[in-house]
Amino acid sequence: DGGITQSPKYLFRKEGQNVTLSCEQNLNHDAMYWYRQDPGQGLRLIYYSQIVNDFQKGDIAEGYSVSREKKESFPLTVTSAQKNPTAFYLCASRSQGARTEAFFGQGTRLTVV
Amino acid sequence: GEDVEQSLFLSVREGDSSVINCTYTDSSSTYLYWYKQEPGAGLQLLTYIFSNMDMKQDQRLTVLLNKKDKHLSLRIADTQTGDSAIYFCAERKTTSGTYKYIFGTGTRLKVLA
């Protein structure tokens, strides 16, 4: 079945280490997004990509980096520069066609200790 | 304002109707969405409405849109315990030819048996 897969579901890292979160989709969607979710703050946009080899910063890009070398993959790296990285991270994708909504993965909960 | 606003909590009795309200930011947003999030999971699209509509009904769900006031609501008829979740409204904004989804803070719906 088509969908968006985020892995791992839970991730623990020591403070000061970089960590990469995986997001893969087999929906043939062009656009992909990364959001961060904190309690009571909803979803905030980190980075988004409309097409392969292109991406833009969202509202809270500092301390994060992404790449979009393949259409189906949009990994997010949380660097040591991110001051408060513990959060729930959600990846989404959207087709360029008539269907307009964003489809979400199941999320990765990152805990930095 | 710059934020999509929702009240944080709503509690209803099983069998009653629930109404979740949202105020969005951009009167030119063409699509508005309602998503549902169960604990520890990603977001699932419930319904959406195009900006030239003022109402959309889909089984137990009714969406009302007031473009003048930038107000969106979701009514769930005959609310069940399985409806307990966080509900997010979102608007699709176009910025420099790209689409971004802006989410509200989410409303946590608790259904009492």
For residue A4 the two structure tokens come to: 């968006």
Alpha-carbon separation of residue B73 from A59, A63, A68, B1, B62 (angstroms): 26, 35, 36, 18, 8
Query: pLDDT tens across A2-56, in order?
Result: 799 999 999 999 999 999 999 999 999 999 999 999 987 789 999 999 999 999 9
Question: Are B98 and A90 within 8 A, CB to CB?
Answer: no
Question: Cis ω on the peptide bond leading into residue A8 (within 30° of 0)?
Answer: yes
Residue numbers in B near A41 (CB within 8 A): 105
Phi, psi of B83 (to 5 degrees): -85, -10
A93 to chain B, minimum CA–CA distance in Å? 11
Query: pLDDT tens across A70-91, in order?
Result: 999 999 999 998 989 999 999 9
A82 to chain B, minimum CA–CA distance in Å? 22
Residue numbers in B near A98 (CB within 8 A): none
Closest residue in A to B8 (Cα) is A40
- Indicate the pLDDT class of residue B3, thresholds 50, 70 and 90: confident
CA distance B109 to B113: 13
Closest-CA residue to A43 (of A91, A4, A101, A11)? A91
- Indicate the pLDDT class of residue A98, thresholds 50, 70 and 90: low
Query: pLDDT tens across B17-54, in order?
Result: 999 999 998 888 889 999 999 988 999 999 999 989 99
B56 touches chain A (CB under 8 A): no
Position B26 scores a pLDDT of: 86
